A and B are shown apart, each in its own frame.
Chain A
Amino acid sequence: MNIDLSRVEVGELLISKKMLARTCDDLERYAEASGDLNPLHLDKEFAMKAGFEDRVVHGMLNMALLANLLTDNFAADDIVSYSARFEGVLLVNQETLDTVRLLERKKDSVVLELLSENSQSKSIIRGRAEIRLLPSQV
């Protein structure tokens, strides 16, 4: 819990992290653990038939990796909600840059914007999370 939300300004960048590319092995491990066996993520031919150049990384895997930035820095009990728009497709073996900014300050919570972009700065996920403030942070 190394970010003091009482001191952060709206718009301020809180976290920036370069994320390693997800490999075919990562996708297979996630498919097995999550039960999402959609061939779009596992079968290159199927992915190409659906109009992509290669296997597509599970949106939910990207969303889970982005969520790790939240749970690394805030107490899980203080996280009220977390949402994501899957704005772009990330193919296997592509890196992302993941960032978290303060979007809005409410009475007893803050709203963070999470963004995951590929190496061409194209948005893959745009997410939001509401974090409850402690009485001392309001």
Chain B
Amino acid sequence: MSLDKNNIGFSLPKFQVEVEAENLKNFNLSIGLPANKDSNVAPLTFMKVLEGQGNSSRVIMESLGAELHRILHAEQQFDYISPIVAGDVVTVERKVIDIYDKKNGELSFVVIESTFTSAVDNLLGRSRQIVLVRNKKK
């Protein structure tokens, strides 16, 4: 069973998240960066953490009816427009922008895009993720 293409456009309400210095420090340590190195600026993959603090990809995929043990993260892209720093309050909006199948529906691919904007509505960056679903055989 492949995923319902009517879910293209699916989104959950946008949410706000504060970039906490302590979270940044712990994240930097977990990816092998020294805690003192530019620790107030979010590292390159941190948008993925921020988007997960509201509507995680797991929640979005479960909303589409995909079982957790069938999904894999296939691709990830980040566009950087302005640095995200500790203390920022960021608004995150996430949307399913495409769903397509390969291998006669054995695999489905779900494209989720997130936008990150500052408290004064400046675009800070974008994240785009492709999730692979290994569908149940018919």
- Give the number of chain A interface residues (Cβ < 8 Å): 34
Known: A33-B31, A82-B44. 5 other contacts (CB 8 A): A29-B29, A33-B27, A35-B53, A71-B43, A85-B74
Q: Interface on A for B, CB 8 Å cutoff?
A: 26, 29-30, 32-36, 38-40, 46, 49-50, 59-61, 63-65, 67-68, 70-71, 76-77, 79-86
Cα A49 to Cα B69 in complex, Å, equals 8
Sample (8) of A-B pairs whose CB atoms are under 8 Å apart = A34-B27, A34-B49, A35-B56, A39-B68, A49-B69, A60-B73, A83-B76, A84-B76
B30 touches A33 (CB 8 A): yes
Complex interface: chain B residues within 8 A of A46 (CB): 69
Give the Cβ gap from A25 to chain B, nearest Cβ, in Å. Answer: 10
Name the one of A68, A83, A85 contacting B32, with C-beta atoms under 8 angstroms: A68
Complex interface: chain A residues within 8 A of B29 (CB): 29, 33
Name the one of B26, B45, B56, B69 contacting A67, with C-beta atoms under 8 angstroms: B45
